[in-house]
Structure 1
Amino acid sequence: MNDRAVSSTIGVVLLLGMTIAAVSALMVVGGTVIDETRADAERSQMENAMSSFSSKASLVGLGESGNQRFSLGRVSEGDVEVRPDGGRVTLYLQKDGGSREELNSTALGAVVYRDGDTEIAYQGGGVWQRRGESNWMLSPPEYHYRLETLTFPIMTVDGDGGSSGSVRGTVRSTHESSDWYPIQGSETRSNPLENGTILVEVESRYCAGWEAFFTERSEGSITESCGADDTLVVDLTVPFTISGEDAVIAKTINPTGGGGPGGGKKIPDGWTEGTIAPSISPEVEAELESCATDGCADVSASELSSGAYDASGTTALYGKTFNTTDGDITVVTDGDVELNDITITGSGNVTLYVRGELTVDSMVNDGGSATQLVTLVHSDGSVRFDGDSDYTGIIYAPKSDMRFNGAPAISYTGALVAEDMDIKGSINKFDFQPDPELEEYQIGGGDRPLTYLHVTENTVEIEFD
């Protein structure tokens, strides 16, 4: 046999083998790419379909429609199922200084599309996605916070079974919504809310998504972040913020002394009436307890440096210098205290926690910064201005009376917050100016209580064709 003929035959065989191997590899890789592309397309389609489903479920759950037909499209890579026990939501009422009282609790349920480690779910009125250990929000749940009114219709899911292929079905309401808050005739569940806050606990496989929603899109604050148990607790109130434009903020202002511009009863510009600010009592109590447990220094020295001090046995802070060069200073008192001739040095802050009556007389932080001196007054306490004074700082006494006795001449820079303000002297002798540095200043630990709360449980039932 000719060697050249043998070589030619071998070459053809090798070429065919290489071609077959290349085509096989291409088919395998190409098939994988096609499968991944098909799965990605299905997930993208499901995101849109779940958002559409969410709108239909809301119409039914909120009583705007008796039932709605839905279609989630064709599902070939994954499947869809109802999980009636998926997740749980619990509502708590926490009064100032008290423990949590459970108001109601229910399973949220969910409608879940699953493909491998990817889930796209409708739960609680929102749409969420989970991939591996990560999860996030695709569309927000029903939740509306306007001014001091919160409307929170909790959407729950009932039903069973699952579907694939062409996924269609009906979402219907099986019964009327159930009131969680307020409840007619109940003294403990009535509006307006006072001296407390509402907490929502959410347990969910999509906990991080819920947390992102409450953090970024609501006015709630996270009390307990998602942990290993996929549970978070949200305080539905928002921090009390001072705008930097109002020097006096109170629920009621009674200028009985007369002398106001344009008439004796007129409230001056920069004084805001009708504001219900949150109690700071729990924070005052916490600081007092901390001193009792960990110990605080006394305030006998004329100059105080960084640290915590207990002034409970002292009725007057006269001629004190608070040197904040090395750090902030905290002073707590379980009784009455008078501020007179107070100086702050350094760049740190001074915070006073007062459970009794606060009396202001003479110079207090004159020429300083309002943010450097914050006095927080318990609801058991009160505030009194007895004589001429020059004060720079914040006095936050939202559940206390504030009185101006005699006819003091007062120069005040910063913000005064009280419940009821009674003015015996002439308003014309008051020079109250806001401090621009207080723009968007938040009172630490103080949260505005919800004034009006409306929470309902709204159940929808899912039935696949």
Structure 2
Amino acid sequence: MVFRREDDVADSETRGQSTLIGVVLLIGMVATLSLTFFFVAGDAVASLEHQAEDERVEGAFVELSQQLQTASSSNDISRTIDLDVGQDGAVVREETGNITVNSDALDDDAIDDMTIGTIEYESTDGTVLAYEAGAVFREKGNETQVVSAPPIHYDLVTQTLTLPVVTATGDDRLGGGDVTFSKHETKTFQDANVVENESVEITIQSEYYRGWESFFRTEAGDTSVQSVDHDNQTLEVQVGYLDIEDAYEDGFLLAERPTDDDIHQNADIDEEDIETGAMPELDEIIDEIVDDIIDDVESGEEDAQSLSETDQTLTDTGSYWVDDDLEIASEDRLEFDISDGNSTVVVDGNVTVSGELIADAAETDHELKLYTTGNVHIDAGEVSVTDGNATNLQFYGTSDAHIGFGTGGTTYEGTLYAPRDSPWDGQENEVYPTECQAQVCMQSNVEVTGAIVARSLDAHSSSVTVEHDPALIDNEISLYSEEYELPPQLTYLNVAHHEIGVRNN
């Protein structure tokens, strides 16, 4: 092959042009990457700066809330703080909502003129921090979180609702720097400070109603929230006990609403049959009943018949007494003939039913009531009513009762009442053979017809069926005889409306 000179020269020129183009492209790529890194780094720095500012403002709002609360309880003494609310400051909006406190026992003394205002700061990403009536909320879109809880609480033990409502007035806008707080007016409601034997309803109308809902569900439990009106941005909350007449209006009345994990997706339990609410504990009543029977036995004035044999039919109506555990074995059938009148069984111990416990009502409205100081375990047994309905057979337990249904074919027809004020706190159910952390546990071939009142529920089986008995609607069931009486429910209202002036110096 022969190489010519002109071919070599042309190839050298081509290579030179290619090198030049490569250098230009490389410089362009470097410049582009440099600009990209510059913008990315700039965005990252800006994001960190915004985040740091939002955190500072959030801390400032929490301090703002604390200072407003302090000013509301002080004696007309102005207070000043250095408030860091960013470059754009915060907006003060007056009369943006209201809070009403009412009860059937208050008649015309409802507390319905507590207007509330807000102090708001909006971040560059649209997140809003808001102070309102003692609370600090963070809201973005339809999600509202509680940053700082308001000083509102209800103590079910002392029956006291403490509700100080603090609202801010003054400058339309607060900038950074010194801010002064001064008390303008405090209104208390002395004419409505005690509510006897009635629950109390709190209605809050606010743009931040979702935050208030979250607060009350956390502070007072799901039982407290009665309704949420998204269209009108209104929340209705109830504290105190529900009426006794409401105890059996649904399949379940629970103080803690079950989660999806608590109820197996295939369990036949209608969500509409589960209501939340608080009912009075019967601990004191059951203790009195047991003490009275023991006193009668010791004094020789025993009215209650001793019950020791669990395989028999009892035709005598009246009271029966078991001073230890009541265990109905799988081969036993304990039947109470209540066709001629009511009967009561008092057990100073646990109740286990693996056989049959039957109330023969003979189409009457007579009742079999069973009170127990211990746990209740319907263990592959049958509790039912002959020729009657769930109103004829009623179980009553204390707030500490552990209740289990199952396993292996369990039938229960009747009512069961064992409410609890304090949380169950994940206690392991003592009577249930598998792991269960609820007051009432159900699993494996369980059929319940009637109604249950308790703290919490776990129904982890597809073969659990619960059906509310319509005969219980508008019932007139008495939880105990007239000779006993629970201590009166007294709800003390400690409600005040504070107006605090806020201004920049």
Shared fold by TM > 0.5?
Answer: yes
Asked if structure 1 preserves the Cα contact closer than 8 Å seen for 2:193 and 2:494, the reply is no
1:64-463 equivalence runs, <5 A: 66-73=77-84, 75-76=86-87, 79-95=89-105, 102-115=110-123, 116-146=125-155, 147-164=158-175, 166-175=176-185, 177-180=186-189, 182-183=190-191, 189-191=192-194, 193-218=195-220, 221-225=224-228, 227-238=230-241, 239-242=278-281, 244=283, 247-248=286-287, 302=361, 317=366, 323=384, 329-330=390-391, 346-350=411-415, 395-396=478-479, 402-403=482-483, 417-418=485-486, 449-463=489-503
Equivalents in 1 of 2:452, 2:152: separation in Å?
A: 37
CA shift in 2, pair 1:450/1:128, >3 Å: farther
Displacement after TM superposition at 1:158 (Å): 1.2
Equivalents in 2 of 1:128, 1:152: separation in Å?
A: 18
Task: Please state whether the residue corresponding to 1:196 is helix, strand or coil.
Answer: coil
Asked if structure 1 preserves the Cα contact closer than 8 Å seen for 2:177 and 2:504, the reply is yes
Write out per-residue CA displacement over residues 82-121 of structure 1, whole angstroms, 9 at most, x where no aligned residue: 111223211222249x9x9743223210111111420111
Task: Please state whether the residue corresponding to 2:63 is helix, strand or coil.
Answer: helix
Equivalents in 2 of 1:64, 1:43: separation in Å?
A: 33
**Unmatched segments (≥5 aa) in structure 2:** 1-11, 242-277, 300-359, 370-381, 393-409, 418-449, 454-470
Task: Please state whether the residue corresponding to 2:59 is helix, strand or coil.
Answer: helix
Asked if structure 1 preserves the Cα contact closer than 8 Å seen for 2:361 and 2:385, the reply is no
Displacement after TM superposition at 1:225 (Å): 2.7
Equivalents in 1 of 2:239, 2:81: separation in Å?
A: 33
Displacement after TM superposition at 1:167 (Å): 4.5
Write out per-residue CA displacement over residues 340-395 of structure 1, whole angstroms, 9 at most, x where no aligned residue: xxxxx94132389xxxxxxxxxxxxxxxxxx989999x9xx9xxxxxxxxxxxx95
Displacement after TM superposition at 1:156 (Å): 1.3
Displacement after TM superposition at 1:245 (Å): 7.0
Displacement after TM superposition at 1:455 (Å): 0.6
Larger-gyration structure (1/2):
2
Asked if structure 2 preserves the Cα contact closer than 8 Å seen for 1:328 and 1:350, the reply is no
CA shift in 2, pair 1:449/1:70, >3 Å: farther
Task: For 1:88, give the aligned amino acid.
Answer: N
Asked if structure 1 preserves the Cα contact closer than 8 Å seen for 2:383 and 2:413, the reply is no
CA shift in 2, pair 1:449/1:112, >3 Å: farther
Q: Which has the higher strand share?
A: 1
Displacement after TM superposition at 1:450 (Å): 4.3
Task: Please state whether the residue corresponding to 1:117 is helix, strand or coil.
Answer: coil
Write out per-residue CA displacement over residues 307-356 of structure 1, whole angstroms, 9 at most, x where no aligned residue: xxxxxxx7x6389998469x97347xxxxxxxxxxxxx94132389xxxx
Asked if structure 2 preserves the Cα contact closer than 8 Å seen for 1:249 and 1:417, the reply is no
User: TM-score, structure 2 length as denominator?
Assistant: 0.53
User: TM-score, structure 1 length as denominator?
Assistant: 0.57
Match of 2:20 among 1, 9, 20: 9
Task: For 1:459, give the aligned amino acid.
Answer: E
Equivalents in 2 of 1:37, 1:127: separation in Å?
A: 23
Asked if structure 2 preserves the Cα contact closer than 8 Å seen for 1:84 and 1:160, the reply is no
CA shift in 2, pair 1:71/1:249, >3 Å: farther
Task: Please state whether the residue corresponding to 1:462 is helix, strand or coil.
Answer: strand
Asked if structure 2 preserves the Cα contact closer than 8 Å seen for 1:322 and 1:350, the reply is no
Match of 1:29 among 30, 40, 50: 40
Displacement after TM superposition at 1:64 (Å): 5.3
Equivalents in 2 of 1:82, 1:75: separation in Å?
A: 15
Task: Please state whether the residue corresponding to 2:207 is helix, strand or coil.
Answer: coil
Task: Please state whether the residue corresponding to 1:75 is helix, strand or coil.
Answer: coil
Equivalents in 2 of 1:213, 1:70: separation in Å?
A: 27
CA shift in 2, pair 1:29/1:450, >3 Å: farther
Equivalents in 1 of 2:240, 2:160: separation in Å?
A: 10
1:281 — aligned with what?
none
Identity of aligned residues (%): 23
**Unmatched segments (≥5 aa) in structure 1:** 184-188, 263-300, 305-313, 332-344, 353-370, 382-393, 404-415, 420-447
CA shift in 2, pair 1:40/1:330, >3 Å: farther
CA shift in 2, pair 1:373/1:117, >3 Å: closer
Task: For 1:17, give the aligned amino acid.
Answer: G
Task: Please state whether the residue corresponding to 2:482 is helix, strand or coil.
Answer: strand
Which range is displaced more, 452-461 or 194-203? 194-203
Asked if structure 2 preserves the Cα contact closer than 8 Å seen for 1:303 and 1:322, the reply is no
2:461 — aligned with what?
none
Q: Aligned pairs, how many?
A: 316
Write out per-residue CA displacement over residues 230-264 of structure 1, whole angstroms, 9 at most, x where no aligned residue: 211111225234265761469xxxx9xx97989xx
